[in-house]
Structure 1
Amino acid sequence: MARTEQTIDGKPEIALVDYNQNITYTIHDGSCSKSASYQPAQSPCIPDDAVLIGTQVLGSSNNSLAINTWRVTTPLLEYKITVTNDTCSFVQETFYGVLSPGVSGSTTFLLSDITEGALPNGIFQVPPECRHAMTGPAVGRR
């Protein structure tokens, strides 16, 4: 399962990806849509062509986390990915560049409270707004 939050037209949007069922639930402005999701869960390691930017320590001296930040460059986007040194778990990801034809921008994901591995059955609950969600993209349907 993955959860992302962003603001669109000044209103929060939450997307929940259920990898087990291949469904994405998108909640925007109080309504929910669901769509087929063919996104694979991200691998917990960086690509082979990544370049190490630096190694840092995150946190305080008595509760710290050793992290590495890597850069990955593609024809349209540049990524900065921060992972833990020991397990290569994502901590932060930023990408910027051409997001779609004619649209440039940047996005940052900060990860916290991560549970690695399979979640127990029943831990993911469909949000109440999505129990009777329409199927398909939310574009033009409000």
Structure 2
Amino acid sequence: MFLAAIFCLLWSVSSAERHPNACCVDREFECVMGEIGGSIVTEHGIPTQKLHKGFNILHYDYYVRKMAILFHTRQDDGTMKVTHILYDFTKNKTYISGSGSCNVTAIPPGTTFREPCIPDDAKFLGSTYMGYGASHLPLYNWEIKKASHPNITKRMAVTQGGCTPVLEATYGYADHNGAKFDVVYVFNNYHPRIRRRDVFDIPHICNPGMQSDIPEQANRVVRTITNLFQ
């Protein structure tokens, strides 16, 4: 029901509405991204449903070309697994650490650290609002598709004033394994600057002698954040 309500919000269209110009999020910000969604993957030849729920603490700085995420995912036993992900485009490295191990990988050639903007070719879906009366929050809805990821569709709701992200729904088929997925992010505690610069420090555990495979949950958030801001 929650996902259905989000899609209804992001589908709002008025054919007579004036098309606004594409906008840009603050080039330096931090926020909490609440996450809920699911996917259907094939395990041992059987389609299996996977529920995704958790939250991400995101720090993004276009000026220093770095992005840090603390990825929290709720496990089946109710505990929370935390993975630290650091993009450092000054070194062209991605550092993913958690549970006593770290994986250091090169950022693929040709990948750029782009400004966090709605693309010029994004489709305007119309305006809507959240809340009521004097407390309502006016929003613009956009649909974004990339030629490099034709099986993935993203819809975003940003404030009409300031272009602050509020909602994002991403759905389609994952490029790496063809799994069908549907994930919604709700942006909370948005702040237009970085309050602690040490969030961009390389974790001490990340050295050449302590590398491991990237957890699938971390792989998923890496792909999502990559599609969102690169």
**Deviation by residue 1:20-58 (Cα, 9 ceiling, x = unmatched):** 332211124331112222443343321233223343445
- Between the aligned partners of 1:62 and 1:20, the Cα distance in structure 2 is 45
Structure 1 residues 80 and 104: CA distance shift in structure 2, 3 A: same
Cross-structure match for 2:172: 97
Contact kept in structure 1, 2:87 and 2:93, CA below 8 Å = yes
SS in 1 for 2:174: strand
- Between the aligned partners of 2:135 and 2:113, the Cα distance in structure 1 is 29
**Deviation by residue 1:61-119 (Cα, 9 ceiling, x = unmatched):** 78875432211245301111222323334444331111124322134444444445x99
Cross-structure match for 1:88: 163
Q: Within the alignment, does 1:46 sit opposite 2:142 as a pair? A: no
TM-score by length of 1: 0.64
2:200 to 124, 127, 135: 124
Cross-structure match for 2:7: none
Structure 1 residues 30 and 103: CA distance shift in structure 2, 3 A: same
1:13 corresponds to which letter in structure 2? T
Structure 1 residues 139 and 127: CA distance shift in structure 2, 3 A: closer
Question: Offset of 1:126 from its aligned partner?
Answer: 2.1
Moved more, 83-92 or 98-107: 83-92
Q: Which runs of 5+ in 1 are unaligned?
A: none
- Between the aligned partners of 2:68 and 2:132, the Cα distance in structure 1 is 28
- Between the aligned partners of 2:75 and 2:88, the Cα distance in structure 1 is 25
- Between the aligned partners of 1:127 and 1:82, the Cα distance in structure 2 is 33
TM-score by length of 2: 0.44
**Root-mean-square deviation (CA), in Å?**
3.8
Contact kept in structure 2, 1:44 and 1:89, CA below 8 Å = no
Cross-structure match for 2:71: 5
Q: Percent identity?
A: 26
Contact kept in structure 1, 2:68 and 2:199, CA below 8 Å = no
Structure 1 residues 37 and 29: CA distance shift in structure 2, 3 A: same
- Between the aligned partners of 1:124 and 1:63, the Cα distance in structure 2 is 36
Larger strand share, 1 or 2: 1
Higher relative contact order (CA 8 A, sep 6+): 2
